[in-house]
Amino acid sequence: MVILVTGGAGFIGSHLCKKLLEQGNDVLCVDNFYTGNKNNILPLMKNKKFELIRHDITFPLYLEIDQIYNLACPASPIHYQRDPVQTLKTSIHGAINILGLAKRTKARIFQASTSEVYGDPEIHPQKESYWGKVNPIGPRACYDEGKRCAETLFFDYYRQYNLDVRIGRIFNTYGPNMHPDDGRVVSNFIVQALTDKYITIYGKGDQTRSFQYIDDLIEAIIKIMNSEKRLIGPMNLGNDQELTINDLATTILKLVKHSKSKIIYEPLPQDDPKQRKPDISLAKKELKWQPRTNLEEGLTKTIQYFKKIVSK
């Protein structure tokens, strides 16, 4: 197949491009390098079946493809809040452009949605049927509401044009190819621990998250996309092992042996969700999938990656 991956030079996109190439597909990677990194796709450039197109999806594009994975969008709070209007344009204008492309080419299309559609949730763990609690005018809204609107667009293109859409709600994912300045908690703590800098815990560190290793996510995304049963979703894709940010810091300090880093507490960003854990019973049932990488194993692989690219 000829497969388009938008946001293909980013963290998740680069792993997805690699896997799709390994499966023998032609891969078109579209990215405007807002947060993407050429180093992530450099190893793929040798493959004749890989093509890189520098393009901003807020503008239309014309390609002939069989499948689309729409991943383009900055995912880290510091990056999506840097230019909130562009973040909204990417989620909304970008979705309209890419859905239009899917409509013309009759391509099946996957949307990388997010656990952020649940906002600061009152239901725990979060099930797909929960509508969420999002502040529509806060600093996270450009991302959360953009992604919620993108889900609406995907559903309306399905209902109105019978488009073959698949929506995955991705929970916190980590692994190699995250940018050292990405700003998300796992990469921050690992880089800080490796360089003996302060480990910056926001708030008291008692907020929770559930972290999924990248390989598990890639397996799930490809499964939902290629399921013969029409799995529109939305479907939670995550690891349901929940821990506090304090526990994450302690685990990373233990795994990065001999770090001289100390923990420092900084103010909690506005609207930071207090708890997050996916209910993944739908994915387990429909995809016959479950995350296989435990936290220490995934963190160890991620630490090995960062050791190669950061120096004290």
- Round to whole Å and give the CA distance between 112 and 131: 17
CB of 6 to ligand UDP, least distance (A): 20
**Between residues 67 and 91, which has the closer beta carbon with respect to ligand UDP?**
91
3-state class of 31 per DSSP?
Answer: strand
The residue type at 285: K
CB of 60 to ligand UDP, least distance (A): 30
**Residue 73 binding target from ligand UDP, ligand NAD, none, CB below 5 to 8 Å by type:** ligand NAD
- Round to whole Å and give the CA distance between 176 and 105: 33
Is 143 a known active-site residue? yes
12: contact with ligand NAD by CB under 6 A: yes
- Report the residue from 41, 191, 245, 287 that binds ligand UDP according to the rule CB under 6 A: 245
**Between residues 21 and 72, which has the closer beta carbon with respect to ligand NAD?**
72
What is the pattern of x (binds ligand UDP, CB under 6 A) and - over residues 69-88? -------xx-----------
202: contact with ligand UDP by CB under 6 A: yes
202 with 272: CB under 8 angstroms?
Answer: yes
26: contact with ligand UDP by CB under 6 A: no
- Residues near 254 by beta carbon (within 8 Å), at least 6 away in sequence: none
Length of the chain: 312
**Residue 272 binding target from ligand UDP, ligand NAD, none, CB below 5 to 8 Å by type:** ligand UDP
- Report the residue from 188, 210, 212, 259 that binds ligand UDP according to the rule CB under 6 A: 188
Taking CB under 6 A as the binding criterion, the range among 40-48, 145-153, 202-210, 235-243 that sits at the site for ligand UDP is 202-210
CB of 201 to ligand UDP, least distance (A): 4
**Tokens 């908690």 sit at which residue?**
185
Site for ligand NAD in 25-54 (CB under 6 A): 30-36
Give the burial class of 245: count Cβ atoms within 10 A of its Cβ; 0-12 exposed, 13-18 middle, 19 or more buried: buried
3 with 70: CB under 8 angstroms?
Answer: no
199 with 254: CB under 8 angstroms?
Answer: no
The residue type at 184: R
Between strands 208-210 and 242-244, the pairing is antiparallel
The residue type at 251: T
- Catalytic residue (one of 69, 80, 143, 158): 143
Site for ligand UDP in 101-120 (CB under 6 A): none
DSSP strand E in the chain: where? 2-6, 26-31, 50-54, 67-70, 108-114, 165-170, 173-174, 199-202, 208-210, 212-213, 235-237, 242-244, 263-266
185: contact with ligand UDP by CB under 6 A: yes
Residues lying near ligand UDP in the complex (CB under 6 A) are found at 76-77, 172, 184-185, 188, 200-202, 207, 209, 245, 269, 272
Q: Which residues contact ligand NAD (rule: CB under 6 A)?
A: 6-7, 9-13, 30-36, 56-58, 71-75, 90, 94, 112, 114, 170, 172-173
